[in-house]
C-alpha cells in the first residue's frame, strides 16, 4: 500500500511504500534530463504531465510537480504507477549503482567529519521532508552541498540550509565557516 505525506514544499509530495524503492541510496532525476534516464519506471514517471523531478530513496519517493497541475490530478497517477510496478516486480526500482558518488576529497579528515554529520544528523531530517542533501565539496571553510527532491526549490530550503545545516556543521566541524548550495 502506498501512503502519501505532505512536505514543506507545496509543489512536492512524498510517496511511502513498504517495498524497497531504492537499494542504492538516494537518487534524483529531473524531467529536463529525461533523455539520460535508462530506468523505465523513472522515465515513465517523469513523462507524466506536471512531473518536474523525482527523488527515490530506500522506502519513499518524492515527486515535485509544476504549478499547472493539482495533486488531485497527479497523486492517483503516481500511486497507480507505483502499485503497478510492485504488482509485477518485487525488485527495488533502483538496484544498481548509477554513478560513482565518491569525491576526490574522501581522504581528507575534515571531509570525513562533514560527511559523517551529513549522514547521521542532517540527511535523516531532510529525508523526513522528502528530500536529500548531497556533499559536493569543501574548500577554504566553505561546504558546498546540493539540495534534492522536495528541498529543491522549496521556499524554506535556504532557511533550512543556513539555520539547520550550517549551524550543525559549524558546531561539529570547527573547520566549517559556511554552507552554500552548488
Please state which of the four CATH numbers 3.30.300.130, 3.60.15.10, 3.40.50.300, 3.90.79.10 is assigned to the domain occupying 109-181: 3.30.300.130
pTM for this model (two decimals): 0.69
* pLDDT value for 158: 66
Per-residue pLDDT of the chain (182 residues; tens, 9 = 90+): 899 999 888 999 999 999 999 998 889 999 999 999 999 999 999 999 999 999 999 999 999 999 999 999 999 999 999 999 999 998 999 987 554 444 444 558 889 889 888 888 888 777 877 778 888 899 999 999 888 877 776 767 667 667 788 888 888 899 999 888 86
Same fold, 3-88 and 109-181: no
pLDDT for 130 equals: 78
Please give the pLDDT value at position 155: 66
Burial tier of 152 (Cβ tally within 10 Å: 0-12, 13-18, 19+): buried
Q: What is the pLDDT of residue 52?
A: 95
Residue 148: the pLDDT is: 80
How high is the pLDDT of residue 54?
95
What's the confidence (pLDDT) of residue 97?
57
Count CB atoms within 10 A of the CB of residue 105: 16
The predicted pLDDT at position 172 comes to: 86
Domain spanning 3-88 has what CATH number? 3.30.1370.70
Q: Which three cell numbers stand for residue 130?
A: 522528502
Q: What is the pLDDT of residue 100?
A: 46
The domain ranges of the chain are: 3-88, 109-181
Please report the pLDDT score of residue 105 as a whole number.
Answer: 45
Amino acid at each position: 500500500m502506498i501512503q502519501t505525506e505532505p512536505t514543506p514544499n507545496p509543489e512536492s509530495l512524498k510517496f511511502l511504500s513498504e517495498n524497497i524503492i531504492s537499494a542504492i541510496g538516494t537518487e534524483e532525476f529531473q524531467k529536463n534530463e529525461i533523455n539520460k534516464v535508462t530506468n523505465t519506471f523513472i522515465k515513465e514517471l517523469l513523462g507524466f504531465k506536471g512531473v518536474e523531478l523525482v527523488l527515490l530513496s530506500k522506502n519513499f519517493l518524492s515527486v515535485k510537480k509544476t504549478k499547472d497541475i493539482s495533486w488531485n490530478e497527479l497523486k492517483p497517477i503516481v500511486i497507480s504507477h507505483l502499485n503497478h510496478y510492485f504488482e509485477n516486480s518485487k525488485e527495488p526500482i533502483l538496484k544498481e549503482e548509477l554513478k560513482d558518488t565518491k569525491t576526490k576529497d574522501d581522504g581528507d579528515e575534515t571531509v570525513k567529519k562533514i560527511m559523517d554529520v551529513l549522514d547521521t544528523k542532517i540527511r535523516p531530517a531532510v529525508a523526513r521532508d522528502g528530500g536529500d542533501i548531497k556533499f559536493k565539496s569543501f574548500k577554504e571553510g566553505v561546504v558546498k552541498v546540493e539540495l534534492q527532491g522536495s528541498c529543491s526549490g522549496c521556499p524554506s530550503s535556504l532557511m533550512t540550509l543556513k539555520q539547520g545545516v550550517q549551524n550543525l556543521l559549524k558546531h561539529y566541524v570547527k573547520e566549517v565557516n559556511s554552507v552554500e548550495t552548488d
